[in-house]
Amino acid sequence: MRFRAFALAALAVIPAAVLAAQPTFRDKYNGAAKDMVPVLQTTSCETKQAKEPAGKAITECRLQMANALLSLDSMNNRLSGVWLMLDSTQLGHPTDLVRSGGMLLRAARGTNSGDYLAVASDVFDMSKRRNWQEACADDKASASRFCVSSDDRKVFHITLRPIQ
């Protein structure tokens, strides 16, 4: 009887411990940034609760690079959107812009395998052909819609939203 009670208690605790050990999107993002574009790693983050609707929160993270911001939207502690804004003139290499988009997809997928850089490159090319108006692609591997736009060909907006 004691063994059964102990086993049930252990089973109840293990899933909570496993869930607590799961890396957050920000952890995955920083891991990808470290490998791909180190200046885009976060330095500090601040979370603010929105007044409406209840349960909505926005986390804004400063990055090592000047003129860059990572914003994470969540609803009831579930990620509901990601926005990376960056000044492309601050990047060290021309390919870093596409790599920054690939980082978001890699973090959302939770793996560094697959075609995340090709997807990012295709969407950047689509946006460029549209004079940097928003271009998007649905990425089934991350269950997200990946979008890119720029107002002035200098500051870029890269977003991820759940596929509706």
CA–CA separation, 53 and 130 (whole Å): 34
Average pLDDT over residues 100-123: 92
Question: Which pLDDT score is estimated for 17?
Answer: 39
Q: What is the pLDDT of residue 85?
A: 97
Q: pLDDT-based confidence at 68, cuts 50/70/90? A: very high
Indicate the average pLDDT of the chain. Answer: 86
Cβ contact 146:84 at 8 Å: no
Q: Which two tokens stand for residue 36?
A: 């791909």
pLDDT at 16: 40
Q: 3-state DSSP: the chain helix, strand, coil percent, rounded to 5?
A: 40, 35, 25
Residue 67 region by backbone torsions, left for phi larger than 0, else alpha for psi between -120 and 50, else beta: left
